Amino acid sequence: MALTLKASVTAEETGIFTVQDTTGLYTSNNTTGYGAPNPEIADFTSADLTVAVPEPETFLPAPTPTTYNVDMYSALPNSGAPFYYIDYSMLGGASTSKCPDGVYEFTYEAFDDNGEVLYDWNGSVLMYANTLCCLANLAIAGTNSGCGCGCGSKMSRFEKGMLMLEAAKYAMSCNNTTAAAKALLAASELCNGCKDC
């Protein structure tokens, strides 16, 4: 079997992304991995990640999305370690801020100079670190002894927001990016869109 480039991108609760090359080495159980008869890791001369970022209004990338290219060579390709980390500064923001919430689309490309072949992998990942943090703050405010009659409302919004956040994660696991973005947007609005927050 020919080499098949594979990757895993994880949205961390700290607001960054962790990228791992999961192609693996060639074995009888992994015939699409690196190594004879497939290209060796040393044959690759470039590795790039293109990231399409979500629009703040929809939490989805636009039809013609804003994209950022991240040069991951020589950390990737590899046989599973080390990880590669992407913070907001690599996507047009400040390194001190979390990546904005929404659905991000990733394209990982690696070029084999020996065979002059470009290999690629595509995937979508849901970032929800900001909404999770906001919901946590809403819950804390709702349990404050001095919050008066607004406590119940805050806890109710927190519970609804957490349900919508879980719905977004489940929709993403079913590859339904539109439903995931809508559910995350609803969770975010429950947290942020209220006058008494």
pLDDT in tens, 176-190: 999 999 999 999 988
The one-letter code for the residue type at 76 is: L
The token pair that represents 178 in the structure block? 């539109």
The token pair that represents 102 in the structure block? 């929404």
The token pair that represents 188 in the structure block? 């975010």
Is the Cβ–Cβ distance between 102 and 65 less than 8 Å?
no
* Alpha-helical segments (H) within the chain: 129-142, 151-173, 177-192
Determine the pLDDT at residue 113.
81
Q: Give SS3 for 65.
A: coil
Average pLDDT of adjacent 10-residue blocks, the chain of 197 residues: 90 94 94 92 91 95 93 86 90 93 95 83 95 87 62 79 94 95 93 52
Determine the pLDDT at residue 196.
39
Strand 44-52, strand 67-71: pairing: antiparallel
Of 51, 38, 19, 28, give the one whose Cα is nearest residue 112: 38
- Residue 197 CA to residue 135 CA, distance in Å, equals 10
Q: How far is CA 150 from CA 86, 134, 139, in A?
A: 39, 17, 12
Determine the pLDDT at residue 140.
81
- Residue 194 CA to residue 197 CA, distance in Å, equals 6
Tokens 């470009």 found at: 118
